Amino acid sequence: MSDPLFDFIRDYQGEQAWGSVLDAGTGQHSMRWLTGLDTERWSAVTGAASMAQQLHQDFDAQMRTQDSLVLGNWSDQNLLAGERFDIVLADYLLGAVEGFAPYTQDRLFKRLFPLVGKRLYLIGLEPYVTHYPADEGGRLLVDIGRLRDACLLLAGELPYREYPSDWVVRHLEQAGFRVDTVQHFPIRYRERFVNGQLDMCVHRIKRLQDRVLADALDAHVKSLRSRALGLVAQNNGIRLGADYVVVAEPIASLAVVE
């Protein structure tokens, strides 16, 4: 199935060779895309041991001797030290940092800067849980997002924290990048998203020791699921917010100061 964000990146790259590529925050989706590119070599980094194990099972057959799947955290200054890649992909990496190295998002781009030889492609999501839309569908999705984050926190986990594209542009420029373009892609959420987010809540609710609270949250999940799926079926999805792709290149003359 075509992905408009990755299609945009492929079109933007055009006839330029991919060369060496780093997937700085890999997962099933980006790995599938990465292994389909005509690269000289690639490396993919994940901070989750379970994800690394799953990716090895799914993609080892497609890995060449020069490719590597790395388990690591970008707060580790030794991770890929001395390496450089023609292209670096940061696929929702900024939002995911909160779960692995909280409060270090402002340092991520400086950390990636020496690894980027030619171009950085960053994919992100405009935050939506902090704004309450006027339409019913948007309000339901915000309620689902807030409930998801609350359930994760109650279960002792950290939710992802997305950042707006203007924040990304400012911090990329501060880190020594020149931003070439920012492209937004409006989102239509469907049944898979609704069920995926609420199933995440269900799994965390099962861990709670306060069963009165757990029962109340479980009832809220069921109510939100019924209402949201009804609107999805009625309107062929619910529109809310946008993903974005930021394309940036390192300014070679700038020294990055930690």
CA distance 202 to 38: 41
* Number of other CB atoms surrounding residue 116 within 10 Å: 24
Q: Residues 168, 173, 178, CA angle at the centre, nearest 5°?
A: 105
Q: What is the pLDDT of residue 253?
A: 52
Q: What is the pLDDT of residue 38?
A: 97
State the 10-residue block means of pLDDT for the chain, 258 residues long: 90 97 96 96 96 95 96 95 97 93 93 97 95 92 97 94 97 97 97 97 96 97 97 96 97 56
**Alpha helices for the chain (secondary structure H):** 4-13, 28-34, 49-59, 93-100, 105-112, 136-154, 165-174, 191-205, 211-235
Instruction: Say if residues 34 and 44 touch (Cβ distance below 8 Å).
Output: yes
CA distance 177 to 112: 10
For the chain, the distance separating the N- and C-terminal CA atoms, rounded to the nearest angstrom, is: 41
Q: What is the pLDDT of residue 258?
A: 41
User: Which secondary-structure segment (H or E) carries 184?
Assistant: strand 177-189
DSSP class of residue 62 equals G
Q: What is the pLDDT of residue 1?
A: 55
User: Which secondary-structure segment (H or E) carries 164?
Assistant: none
Per CATH, the number for 1-127+162-188+241-251 is: 3.40.50.150
Q: What is the pLDDT of residue 7?
A: 97
Residues 6+ apart with CB under 8 A from 69: 26, 43, 44, 46, 52, 55, 56, 59, 63
